[in-house]
Amino acid sequence: MQVRFKLWLEEGGEQVFGEGIYELLLAVERLGSINQAARFLHMSYRQAWGHIQKTERRLGVKLLVRQVGGPAGGGARLTPEAEDMLRRYHSFCLDVGKSLNDLYARHFIHPADG
Amino acid sequence: MQVRFKLWLEEGGEQVFGEGIYELLLAVERLGSINQAARFLHMSYRQAWGHIQKTERRLGVKLLVRQVGGPAGGGARLTPEAEDMLRRYHSFCLDVGKSLNDLYARHFIHPADG
């Protein structure tokens, strides 16, 4: 057996940050556009942009700089605050994974060592 | 903000044990009957018994002793293996909660201390 988990950050009972927005911001970072990120994740532009705006409101932080129009047809890039959030969330999830495996072993595999 | 989580144990991609079966077994332990536990959790008897049988199969362990009929109309009690599983899962979840709060603080609140 192995342990699996899902985690998210909440404020006042509302989800503020989790796997969904993490993947979405990562896709915007890689593809340079909300539209392409949405397509990559099989979402509508409206859903993607709505999710980003909701997260910005709840975090109280601007996550994207949008470039409308222009020769390349516009695009979006992450703010330094969004980059920081992605980096923290990623290393947080890695540490959580390690900790959960250790705790699983302690409680279910070698309880006598715990 | 605070961190929230959901966790479960898997084997070969299939969920073996999680919050649902934990609550169900706990209710059987308290109420002494699958039927009453199911009603308490707003499930059908069929769903509850199905979930228990599936978990027994996947864990390879008998979880309940059923007493059919009798003056009290039958009932069910947990096997020592089920009691042990509940105890481990509960203390595992408590430790996971503590660890996640510590890791959250380290990554999001006091990253410089980490």
Residue A114's pLDDT is 42
| Backbone torsion region of residue B15, taken as left when φ is above 0, otherwise alpha when ψ lies between -120 and 50, otherwise beta | beta
Q: Three-state DSSP class for B14?
A: strand
Locate the domains of chain B by residue range: 9-109
Low-confidence stretches of chain B (pLDDT < 70) are 70-73, 111-114
CB contact under 8 A, B96 and A88: no
The answer, yes or no, to whether ipTM is higher than 0.90 is no
* Closest Cβ opposite residue A7 in set B8, B17, B100: B100
- Pairwise CA distance, residues B39 & A78, whole Å: 50
Q: What is the mean pLDDT of each run of 10 residues along chain A (114 residues)?
A: 93 93 97 95 96 96 85 82 96 96 92 53
Residue A14's pLDDT is 92
- Pairwise CA distance, residues B114 & A19, whole Å: 23
Out of 1.10.579.10, 1.10.3720.10, 3.30.470.10, 1.10.10.10, select the CATH number for domain B9-109: 1.10.10.10
Angstroms from B60 CA to nearest CA on chain A: 12
Residue B114's pLDDT is 43
Closest CA to B100 of B1, B8, B2, B21: B2
